Structure 1
Amino acid sequence: MSEKIATASVLAFERKLDPSDAVFHSGRWDERDNGSKWSPVRIRVKSVRGTISNRLKAKGGDAAKLDAAVNHANLQTVDVATLPADADTLRVTFSLRVLSGTGMPSACNNAAYRVRLQNVVNDYVAKHDFTELANRYAANLANGRFLWRNRIGAESVAVEVSRQKNGECVQKLTFDALSLGLRTMDQFDSNVTALGGLIADGLAGRTHVLLRVTAYVRLGFGQEVFPSQELILEKTEKSKTLYHVENVAAIHSQKIGNALRTIDTWHENALESGPIAVEPYGSVTTQGTAYRHPKLKPTQDFYNLLDDWLLKDKMPAVEQQHFVMAVLIRGGVFGDAN
């Protein structure tokens, strides 16, 4: 490059996969096509009497006090959501907008950097389109990863993805989610690639894409289901608070988005960990690990990869190019604070 370019101090991107909250309804497996037979799943409060089972600070403590703590009942008030006694299937529904404009910042205070970034993205799209990324997003819709704990132990899981236009379904694809694995991202059947092609068209701006996703999960009559759990910072009477939308149990849109972008198999520990959610540092908080730590060599974190690509003309390997584009699709604030 003839002109030296610095990273913009103000740099932000809007997410390009925009899911809604996913709401829960209950019904019977053999009545999946009858929408009037499905009732909202409500959250109710339950009080339980458990035992003390957490690790106690016993070193140097009073033995009598320790015995008293262990023998004391653990009284809890929690939220719970279950299927009714006459329903064996959970229905989970959400919508997904696929937006164009990947690599176009919503805020950028450096015009030269913006131009360079857009040229790099355009070159990537010309070579690869969004095919690889879109197929991976499609796979996570098809395999029901967005169901999280609700998928575990299910007898059957059917996922329907319909394209909406003017309020009507113009195309529908159906998947047997349990026949599709969660750990591999390199083998896609024709239905997954068809959905991937639609997502790629939306990301590239070739067409407007709005999807309605419906999953039917056969769990068993009266079985517990698992909405998102709220993070309550203040101490309350309840030890577990579940998320709802107008008193209907639901999963946060952020959690749906996290599942859809769990496509990163390009980091060095992928064979062991499987796909992880696309994050600048490959952070997986449930494992307390950053799989793309900035200190790793060769470079694997988003910021160093992006700077090498844009500022130093060091084009990353193709797999890492996919990762960088996936982070831009994820969106976020990436400016240089220095």
Structure 2
Amino acid sequence: MNTGLGILLPTGQDQWDDARRLVDFGVQAERFGFDSVWANDTLLGPRIEPLTMLAALSSATERVTLGTAALLPAFRRPVMAAQEIASIDHLSGGRLIVTVGAGFPGRSEIEYAVSEVPWERRFGRLDDTVALWRALWSGERAFHGKVLRFDDLPESTPSYRPGGPPIWLGGASPSALDRTGRLYDGWLPYPPDPADYRAGLAAVRRAAASAGRPDDAISPALFVTVLITEDVDGVERRLDSYCRSTYGLPYETVRTIQAVVAGPVERVAATLSRYTAAGASQLVCRIAAPSLDSQLVQMELLAKTVRPALS
């Protein structure tokens, strides 16, 4: 079975000189044979907003899946977000996947504050928001969740696909694994060890079985940072620079939290293959390169050298 290979768009303003080139980047990814193109979400640092980015790509591309990795729904009014997502689902002809998350402790509290949403009960709010979206897309006129309650909902834009686009969850805490299995359509974590991925996926499937859902109800994917380079001596320095620019954290810290794969083609392909052997059927690759031009070079390398090894 072929592994789906996707690319994260470098939407941060420090990585591009002309935002319109991001659309060309997504089109080029499709031409290189990638299966999906993704955009991430944060209020920390200037960037192109992910739903806007995917809306622009919906008419510029024809085949690739368009996804968020991950969208943070707490930053948006939930009813309006449902309409925005349904609109992109229509504009893309049903090529949308929405991965959602609740943010990162120590980093996202300020984002919640400026969005005027309480940090407390964020997981319940996230699950309710997704359930509300599905209710709106199905034409329901009321919703009563644990955090969100609406007695009189307006008629909303239905989704292109019945029930809406697939909604995936990012995260690998025990509660996230349980909620993925019970409530979501896919799983997009970034564990630094393939063994952790295998164990997490098993937990997701146990939760799905307990909820009466089949194993194939949840699409298993992986978010992974990638850098192809023959400069073995300098690779950690380059990764450290990228991590400090992206997170304000050293590489030594980031690699204990997230999947990071770097080095010659053979090493990158072999490590990614360990994740696919652990059950990941789709890989979302974030390229650890500082500019759009350098990311284009890396993307072509991935397409021509790593992708064949994963097929």
Q: TM-score, normalised by structure 1?
A: 0.27
Where relative contact order (Cα < 8 A, 6+ residues apart) is larger, the structure is 1
Give the structure with the larger strand fraction.
Answer: 1
Larger Rg: 1
Q: TM-score, normalised by structure 2?
A: 0.29
Give the structure with the larger helix fraction.
Answer: 2
